[in-house]
Amino acid sequence: MLTERLQSLERQYSRLEERLADPDVLRHPEEYQKYSREHAELTPLIQAFRRYRQLQKELADSQALLREEKDEDIRALAREEIQALKEKLAQAEEELRLLLLPKDPNDEKNVLLEIRAGTGGEEAALFAADLFRMYSRLAERRGWKMEVLSHSPTGLGGFKEIIALVSGDRVYSQLKYESGTHRVQRVPATESQGRIHTSAVTVAVLPEAEEVEVQINPEELRIDVYRASGPGGQHVNTTDSAVRITHLPTGLVVTCQDEKSQHKNKAKALKVLRARLLNLKQQEQKRELDQERRSQVGTGDRSERIRTYNFPQGRVSDHRIGLTLHRLPEILEGDLDELIQALITHYRTEALKQAGA
């Protein structure tokens, strides 16, 4: 079954190579780009399949040698080679199954990153600022662009809420497992007794929605404008530039006052609203799909605590996969590669188990 499917995909891959070499296709850039994308998506899978077939051939040759050879030393070598090749084949088959898993259609998308202070008052707001800085450093490392759409600062340099658009290569595929409650344990700067406090911050990672994915009927919106609040300045509190948009069917409310222009604030607020509506739609579809297997895998509630940042012990613990890393300073500087890769590997393994079941 697996081999038949892979052979069919290999035939499809060969047809794509023929089309990419066709002079007629070369004269039509859009058609050529379409075939190039399909070819690029299939390349890792076909290369892995060809490696797998080569290993199968080498195994068959070694087994034939073992059957036909009389020299005991050569037979011993053949047995060792057979064992090694069987292990390589098992690994290659696992890789093929991973590559055949359905791809998340959102993986290529940019994201709206929403960070909000939870329990813990000012200390939670300060940690929200720390997390935003951590993701900003990660974006710098990856060559992503970070654009703040909306933020509500506090007097001590924290954030009640901050929303940013993160743009770049496969951003959602790398950040999608960051959604949930992030807990911090540390002695706040405002604590005179030196006691450790526990605070919480929520993170939501929403795929950016294209207009074709989420159609918004203007008649279903209530748009209010008002004067922006915040630090003084010649443009603040003098014009009605802040925008509040209410989506009447869902009750979702989005506000934006970061720009001096009402038009720009409205455009940013609509971008946030579109992403939240897409997320609502996807969550509803997910609930329907998960209904029958919820008893086996739990609720998967995004609000569950996912990670703890313990400052006294210098550690970060991800509770979903039981991983603890004693390198808190580096992680807060955006060095999240080990955490992100561990999460991707874990959820791919879970998907393989479900596919097998």
pLDDT averaged over the chain? 86
Spatial CA neighbour of 308 closest among 125, 201, 142, 183? 183
Condensed to tens digits (0 to 9), the pLDDT of residues 245-294 reads 999 999 999 999 888 888 889 989 998 998 899 888 888 766 764 553 34
Condensed to tens digits (0 to 9), the pLDDT of residues 216-225 reads 888 899 998 8
If pLDDT is split at 50, 70 and 90, which confidence band does 304 have? low
If pLDDT is split at 50, 70 and 90, which confidence band does 298 have? very low
pLDDT of residue 186: 94
Q: Which amino acid does the sequence have at 93? A: E
% of the chain beyond a pLDDT of 70 = 89
Dist CA 320 CA 176 (whole Å): 14
Strand order in the sheet with 159-167: 145-153, 159-167, 111-117, 197-207, 180-186, 305-310, 315-318, 323-325
Q: What CATH number does domain 218-285 carry, 3.40.50.1000, 3.90.79.10, 3.30.160.20, 3.40.50.920?
A: 3.30.160.20
Please give the structure tokens belonging to residue 158. Answer: 């924290």
How big is the chain by its Cα radius of gyration, in Å?
Answer: 26
Dist CA 54 CA 36 (whole Å): 26
How large is the average pLDDT for residues 63-81? 92
CB 225 within 8 A of CB 240: yes
Dist CA 255 CA 225 (whole Å): 10
CB 305 within 8 A of CB 183: yes
pLDDT of residue 296: 29
Q: Which of 39-43, 231-235, 303-307, 326-330 has the lowest mean pLDDT?
A: 231-235
Residue 21 sits at φ, ψ, to 5 deg, of -95, -5
Q: Which of residues 2 and 204 earns the better pLDDT score?
A: 204
How large is the average pLDDT for residues 290-313? 61
| In the chain, domain spans | 2-100, 111-212+302-356, 218-285
Q: How do beta strands 305-310 and 180-186 pair?
A: parallel
Instruction: Please work out, in degrees rounded to the nearest 5, the angle formed at the alpha carbon of residue 109 by the alpha carbons of 283 and 256.
Output: 75
Condensed to tens digits (0 to 9), the pLDDT of residues 135-151 reads 999 999 999 999 998 89
**CATH 3.30.70.1660 fits domain 111-212+302-356:** yes
If pLDDT is split at 50, 70 and 90, which confidence band does 345 have? confident
pLDDT of residue 286: 67
